[in-house]
Amino acid sequence: MPRVTFANQKKPFFNSINDRVEEYFYEKKLKKTGNKKLYVKTLILITGALMIYIVLLTIHVNPFMGVALCVLLGFLQATIGFNVMHDANHGSFSERKWVNNLMGFSANIMGINMWLWKQKHNIIHHTYTNIDGVDIDLAKAPFLRMCPSQKQLKVHRFQHIYCIPLYALTSLMMIFVSEFLNFFRKKIQGTKLQKMKISEKYVFWISKAVYVFFFIALPALIWGIVPAIIGFTAMHVALGIILAIVFQLAHVVEATQFVDANVVRIEDEWAVHQVQTTADFATDNKIISWFTGGLNFQVEHHLFPKISHVHYPAIHKILKEDCDKFSIRLNDYPTMTAAFLSHLRFLKQLGAN
């Protein structure tokens, strides 16, 4: 596959906004990493998840309450992924590398390999956003058409209806299918992975085994195989749907642009490409911002992935002004509902065309 390049010789847009962001942190005397609010939120989320896990293993509850707690555990895992794991694996959770590594390892605890996640997310997705054939988030699936350059099938006419049940499989497919394929093939789609150290290979296998033990085997030993499978499935249905929807609203909506990987040269600087292929949503909603770890400020995150999400509301104001200055449209949905409906409309359009 040919390497996609950008017109990055001068980068006027990024240089302008980067200078203003740097000036903001200098004048406010702020660190670019997380702050006390993030660390308190981390404590709340991780403590909540641990408490629910312990309750599920040690206290007999009726089946409906058990399923509800498993769904809540899946929800909390998603929020830990958004707020803790995501910032940490971008190196923005803390100034201390060991803290980022420790918090980033929460991915492995939730069944996702930290090393592989960094490869596919930090490197591939953030560099080649919405470039079909390269961006892993647009990976071809038999029942979903997510951009105009992908082949249309008859079944896609109904994808806006059945997409949510498919999204429920997101985390299960990632943990038990795609990561193993990436591990053995040593590539993600057509992109070769960096060489994996022996120690990382051990971590891959050991953490997968530990995950299966604590989330499947141990519950099965205590409560039986059927209750364990039902609870595990309920947890992943919640986790998968939340993960998929948040990331789909950031890139697969009517406002965003897409590029076919056969286009070797993109005649925009990388930063402009990020703005055009990414969308913000519900940026005035503090509750959604709290739970999604600022991923509703997705454009800001793509431009400044090494800055913690706690600073994105301030950067958002700067971004809006510079987008106006350079006549670049900022994709900004006022509510999460508006973004979600746009996503469904876009899937319907792709299925009909």
Residue 322: predicted pLDDT = 97
**What confidence score (pLDDT) does residue 140 get?**
73
- Pick the more confident residue, 171 or 267: 171
**Which pLDDT band holds residue 122 (cuts at 50, 70, 90)?**
very high
Q: CB–CB of 29/191 below 8 Å?
A: no
Residue 166 has pLDDT above 60, yes or no: yes
Helices (H) and strands (E) in the chain, counts: 19, 8
**Separation CA 294–CA 169 (nearest Å):** 24
- At 25-73, the pLDDT tens digits run 999 999 999 999 999 999 999 999 999 999 999 999 999 999 999 999 9
Give the pLDDT of residue 22. Answer: 97
- What proportion of the chain, given as a percentage, has pLDDT over 70? 99
pLDDT reported for residue 10:
87
For the cut 70, the answer to whether the pLDDT of residue 288 exceeds it is yes
Percent of the residues in the chain that have a pLDDT greater than 90, as a whole number = 90
User: Mean pLDDT across the chain, nearest whole number?
Assistant: 95
State the pLDDT at residue 321: 97
Two structure tokens written together for 289: 């911002």
**Residue 348: exposed, middle, or buried by beta-carbon count in 10 A (0-12, 13-18, 19+)?**
middle
For residue 2, name the pLDDT band (cuts at 50, 70, 90): low
Q: CA distances (Å), 87 to each of 10, 19, 38, 182, 247, in order?
A: 29, 22, 10, 23, 15
**How far is the CA of 218 from the CAs of 54, 200, 209, 221, 225, in angstroms?**
12, 25, 12, 5, 10
Whole-angstrom Cα distance, residue 147 to residue 149?
A: 6
**CA neighbor of 162 nearest in space, from 71, 233, 77, 244:** 244
- C-beta of residue 289 within 8 angstroms of C-beta of residue 28: no
Q: What is the pLDDT of residues 62-113, one digit of tens each?
A: 999 999 999 999 999 999 999 999 999 999 999 999 999 999 999 999 999 9
Domain count across the chain: 1
The span from the CA of 13 to the CA of 314, in Å, is: 18
What's the burial of 99, exposed, middle or buried (CB within 10 Å: 0-12/13-18/19+)? Answer: middle
What is the reported pLDDT for 4?
84
Mean pLDDT of 6-21: 94
Range of the domain at 90: 5-352
pLDDT tens per residue across span 296-327 = 999 999 999 999 999 999 999 999 999 999 99
Model confidence band, residue 264 (pLDDT cutoffs 50, 70, 90): confident
